[in-house]
Amino acid sequence: MILSVSRRTDIPNYYSEWFYNRIKEGFVYVQNPMNAHQISKIDLSPDVVDCIVFWTKNPEPMLDGLDRIAQYPYYFQFTLTGYGKEIEPNLPHKKERMLPIFQRLSDKIGRQRVIWRYDPILFTKTYTPEYHLKAFEQIAGALNGYTDKCVISFVDLYAKNKKAMESMKTYEIGEQELYGFAEQLSMIAAKNRMVIASCAETMELSHCGIEHNCCIDKGLIEEITGYQLHVGRDRNQRTECGCVESIDIGMYNTCKSGCRYCYANYSQGSVMKNCACYDSTSPILCRGLTKEDKISERKVKSLKERQLSFLIDGN
């Protein structure tokens, strides 16, 4: 099993102690996003967890406790952009705080296991293509030697973020300008010893030096774990997504970062209500259990390939 922590919220930033307690207890309860009273109990023992993939904009609260998950293979997807407080209001200062945190994490666990995400890219009167190129180059220069890979994406419009996108007066650029922009990103990444790839993009950017990416990456996990995995593509994600199957233990409407492009929070009121229920000792994130809840144990197992090998005498 590959554990996603989490596409739905920033667990490393806001709920790291809860996560560490779940690891200690050896299980977690996860609410079905489509059915609030359907709860899955998931085994978190090292025997079944092949890798943990963390998604975060600030892993600092986890850093001093990483020895608590030393028995698990893991890597981080670390989002670090050039946006200011009007777009990402609740994040620490990028240059003063976030760049050093990225570097510290990389020093602790290795550059292979920290993926830099510069996403989503959106264009406004302030955040023009020229602005992004300048910000990208500054961040890439600071992260030179601290990561092997950068992942980009362009903002997607959902019902949940449409109003915010309209209020920011975002705009799209033409195809040829977009290709030129992507090619310049690719050159900056290469100059700073990084591979660059796109996340769940329909457009083909390989001619710009940008390949399609798998954020939950079978190849990378096999490199980290040292064994092959028997796992298929995640059919619950968008068609363009190349990720392999995983189990996400997060909950929507619980991220306190307040990013205006976010699709994981429906309303600030829901976030405040859910966050008020947070208990680091609870088996489930940001809610209590009720008599209406139906808890069932989800069958999970290691995805490790189990192949027989034969030794022929004399060879």
What pLDDT shows up at residue 204? 87
Taking the CA atoms of residue 223, residue 69, residue 45 and residue 244 in that order, the dihedral angle to the nearest 10 degrees is -40
Residue 237 binned pLDDT confidence (cut-offs 50, 70, 90): confident
Q: In this predicted model, what pLDDT tens digit does every residue of 260-315 receive, in sequence order?
A: 998 889 888 999 999 999 999 999 999 999 999 999 999 999 999 875 444 434 44
Q: Of 62, 104, 115, 84, nearest to 223 (Cα)?
A: 115
Distance CA 106, CA 146 (A): 6
Residue 42 has pLDDT above 80, yes or no: yes
For 95-136, where are the E strands, in sequence order?
Answer: 114-121
Work out the mean pLDDT of the chain and round it to a whole number: 93
For the question of whether the overall pTM of this predicted structure is more than 0.85, the answer is yes
What pLDDT shows up at residue 163? 79
Paired with 29 in beta bridges are 41, 284
What pLDDT shows up at residue 314? 42
Distance CA 45, CA 42 (A): 9
Q: In this predicted model, what pLDDT tens digit does every residue of 116-164 receive, in sequence order?
A: 999 999 999 999 999 999 999 999 999 999 999 999 999 876 666 677 7
Q: In this predicted model, what pLDDT tens digit does every residue of 98-110 receive, in sequence order?
A: 999 999 999 999 9
Residue 185 has pLDDT above 60, yes or no: yes
Distance CA 167, CA 300 (A): 43
For the chain, where are the E strands, in sequence order?
Answer: 2-5, 27-32, 35-43, 51-56, 74-79, 114-121, 149-154, 195-198, 211-212, 247-248, 294-297
35-43 and 27-32: which strand pairing?
A: antiparallel
Q: Both tokens of residue 302?
A: 């290691």
